[in-house]
Amino acid sequence: MLSTGGSLVEGMPMRITAVICTGAGALFAATVFAADLPRTPWGDPDLRGTYTSDNSIGVPFERPAQFGARAELTDQEYAARVNANDEQIAKDQNPF
């Protein structure tokens, strides 16, 4: 350990190591995230693609007003959802 003027300097090697590791991690992250991302002609990230809709995953962005404050579906609502899902799966599996 190092001594300066009679006082003991503790933890300095650990602090220096932490600063170096943090800097190296930030440099690595900047390099990885900047590598070959598709860009628009004006330089922004290109976010074009195919995104699923509510019908594909069954989860809307907002809670439908018809459910109010209820936490669960009724048995009839659940059965209707299962039936609609089964019909969609059958349509998706049907060859053109």
* Residue 56: C-alpha distances to residues 8, 32, 59, 91, 92 (Å): 65, 32, 8, 13, 11
Domain boundaries, the chain: 54-93
Q: What is the pLDDT of residue 20?
A: 86
Q: What is the pLDDT of residue 7?
A: 45
pLDDT, averaged per 10 consecutive residues of the chain (96 residues), comes to 50 79 78 74 86 68 85 92 89 82
Q: What is the pLDDT of residue 11?
A: 60
Question: What are the two backbone dihedrals, phi and then psi, of residue 36, each rounded to the nearest 5 degrees?
Answer: 50, 45
Q: What is the pLDDT of residue 6?
A: 45
Q: What is the pLDDT of residue 41?
A: 93
pLDDT, one tens digit per residue, over 20-33 is 888 887 777 766 66
